[in-house]
Amino acid sequence: GRSMRELIESGEKSFSFEFFPPKDEAGEERLWRAITELEPYRPTFVSVTYGAGGSSRDTTVRVTGRIATETSLTPVAHLTCVGHSRAELLEILDAYKDAGVDHFLALRGDPPGGPHTEWVSTDDGLEYASELVAFIKEHYDAAVGIAAFPEGHVNSESLEHDAQVLKAKADAGAEFAVTEMVLRASDYFALVERARAIGVDMPIIPGIMPILSLRSMNRMVELSGRVMPREVTSRLEPLAETPDLLRAEGIRISTELCDELLAGGAPGLHFYTLNFSRATREIFQALQITV
Ligand code: FAD
């Protein structure tokens, strides 16, 4: 088959949707509703995140396998280094082989205590996403993507070091990148420039988190060690008491960001759906992308 890189760069813009493993039956129904409603857009891929531990990890394997067998979609399974020995990672890769899942997003993962806590090594485990990329490529004929950070990873000592980490992941065999949610198009373009300047030529897909509420957006941005751009908060804060108007303005802001990214040469858009389809569909409608 064609590589993921070829698909992303096939000439048309690439669209992809990210989901997380549902925690209960209601969540499972919501996820499948979102998948069903987004499938007609024929995304390049859909991805399913991998939790910090426990049963949600099995749910990721199960849901990703179901997407592979029961839909027309190409699933990308997120996988992390957190808490896994090499032997366990091999078992997980075997489960994916059985399910016909052969696309991965290789991540280090956040420490079990959250993004702001100290990294904890696992006996006979891996330390960095670049090692996981190499590990997957060594054991499985799979396409592997990785994470990139428009404003640098929260723990990165500098933007230059951050770009070197991206290069290490490319050198290990990664063929595409998806970014943390982009807050300003200029940050995304600067990331691409830093990458290209040191010979990283893989497609880098900007991540889009539709803005639906000021509080949840602030929380997510804070977790990533960043601050909301003033030009965004100044448009949203006056609407804090009118959630419907705020949501509509949030969709407008997100749409403008998508427009600017695509016009500036981004190879596509990766939507953080949070297992809902409505906001993504509204942005598609505003961008005049139809099924
Ligand atoms: P790495 O590339 O390994 O980087 C981690 C840190 O180590 C960085 O600070 C980097 O600068 C530093 N570093 C890397 N290599 C070296 C080196 N050789 N020497 C010194 N320092 C180095 N988390 C989950 O748990 N599950 C998910 O499903 C998930 N999906 C994500 C999807 C996307 C698109 C993104 C952007 C993030 C996702 N995350 C997920 C979060 C991610 O795991 C965290 O941001 C994590 O802290 C960094 O992951 P990474 O893969 O970029 O790690």
Q: Cβ neighbours of residue 3 under 8 Å, at least 6 residues apart? A: 143, 175
- Does the CB atom of residue 271 touch ligand 1 within 6 A? no
Residue with CA nearest ligand 1 atom 33: 147
Active site residue 18: yes
Q: How confident is the model at residue 111 (pLDDT cuts 50, 70, 90)?
A: confident
ipTM: 0.99
Catalytic-role residue among 6, 9, 12, 18:
18
Ligand 1 atom nearest the C-alpha of 155 is: 9
Whether the CB of 63 sits within 6 Å of ligand 1: no
- Torsion-angle region of 199 (φ positive above 0: left; ψ -120 to 50: alpha; else: beta): left
Cβ of 50 less than 6 Å from ligand 1: yes
Is the CB of residue 147 below 6 angstroms from any atom belonging to ligand 1? yes
270-286 pLDDT tens trace: 999 999 999 999 999 99
The model's pLDDT over 114-172, given as tens digits with 9 standing for 90+, comes to 888 899 999 999 999 999 999 999 999 999 999 999 999 998 999 999 999 999 999 99
Q: What span, in angstroms and rounded, lies between the C-alpha atoms of 171 and 41?
A: 32
